[in-house]
Amino acid sequence: MSDEKLQEYKYEFSFMWEGRLHFVHLWDTNDLSACQRVCCLPVQSHHVTYDDTTKNGFFIDDQLTAYAFKKEPYKLSTIVPDCSPHPSELSETKKPKPDALEVYGF
C-alpha cells in the first residue's frame, strides 16, 4: 500500500425526507463511497450523474429518494495543538507508568 494520501473532499448532500429539506456534510475520497455513506445503501456508479455546468452530482437510491451533492477539496484550516498536561502537572497517582522500553533502557 502506498504512503500517498488520497485527496479528501468535503461533500454537501441535499435531499427531501418526510417533506423536509435536509443537508448532510461529510468528508470522503470518492464520490461513490460518499453517496453510499449518505444513504446507507449500495449505489452503483452508473446511477450517479453529473451536471456539465455546475459539476454537481445527482443520484436516486433504491427507496426513490433523490440526492444532489457538490464537492470541494478539503483543506485543513486549523491545527489544534496538543492540550495534554505536562507530566510535572500530574499528581503521583495520575502519572503514566513508564514504558517497558524506557525501563530496560531501549
Along the 106 residues of the chain, how does pLDDT read in single tens digits?
Answer: 455 678 899 999 999 988 999 999 999 999 999 999 999 999 999 999 999 999 999 999 888 999 999 999 988 777 777 777 777 777 666 556 666 556 565 5
Q: How far apart are CA 8 and CA 14, in angstroms?
A: 19
Cell numbers placing 89? 502537572
Residues near 8 by Cβ (< 8 Å), separated by ≥ 6?
27, 28, 29, 73, 74
Residue whose C-alpha cell is 461513490: 32
66 — alpha (psi -120 to 50), left (phi > 0) or beta? beta
Cell numbers placing 25? 456534510
pTM of the predicted protein model: 0.64
